[in-house]
Amino acid sequence: MSTPRRKKVNVSLDNGVPKHSDLEDGRLTGGHPAGIIWDVSSLPLLQDIEAALFDLDGTLVETNIDFTLMKRRTLELAARHGADPGALAGLDILSIIEETAATMPSGRAGEFRRRAWDTLEEMEMESLARARVMDGCEELLRELQRRGIRTGIVTRNCRRAAAILVDMLPLKVDVWLAREDVSRTKPDPAHIRAALDALRVEAQRALMVGDHPMDVRAGREAGCRTVGLLGGREPGYFDEAGPDAVFPDLRSLCDALLGVDR
């Protein structure tokens, strides 16, 4: 069976009113009051899909980690180990750690990584007190599993924190991989492929959902269909990453995919 042609749909907020638009021809296909179910039946996100992968924090759960503070602390640690923080400022947090370690002899690099991982893990564990499951999570996971679609999580969180967050979910997923479980994390597609290998599902039969452009880039490079969740950000947040669809949040994705008769 052939893979469906990709067709982007964007669901955004216009003065508090959700709208979705067909990005292939620029035609606005609907504008509806908050809470209504959007008809995206023309978007075959689940057609021929055998697995749905999700980011964790910001997608299925919310912890409100202060990533700005986390990045600042990581840059400060890198600077104390001789790195130029200005040259690293444009990188994501895990890349800052790896780029800094790459300039060191193996012994010092190992020590730096341990201190950096400890810093991140401490902040991730502290955030668990504020953690909550996203609205729509239970319905979406339940319906995916009812349809026989396998589910997985691909997260850059540490395994210790991720295990607690995964246990908070209302349903079990088939596989989840934290940063310690792979040699290369998102945005490297190897992270996605490792989860798909565990599920024994080909990338073209998988959907990747996340709230960050790196989720989308990793999914696309792996060969998956992709969905971006804005989570209160500007509608153009995912423009460069190029997902197949963009929704305000998990609830709107759930409603759009499952419809009123679920």
- Quick check: 158 and 121 in contact, CB under 8 A? yes
**What is each CA distance from 221 to 87, 108, 186, in whole angstroms?**
26, 33, 11
Task: State the DSSP H helix or E strand holding residue 133, giving kind and residue range, or none if neither.
Answer: strand 132-133
Cα distance between residue 122 and residue 142, in whole Å = 32
- Quick check: 243 and 226 in contact, CB under 8 A? yes
Question: Choosing from 22, 25, 48, 55, which is the catalytic residue?
Answer: 55
Q: Of 149, 215, 237, give the one whose Cα is nearest residue 247.
A: 237
Cα distance between residue 32 and residue 13, in whole Å = 10
Q: Is 55 a catalytic residue?
A: yes
Q: Of 49, 67, 46, give the one whose Cα is nearest residue 57.
A: 67
C-alpha dihedral over 19, 20, 23, 26, to 10 degrees? -50
Which residue numbers are catalytic?
55
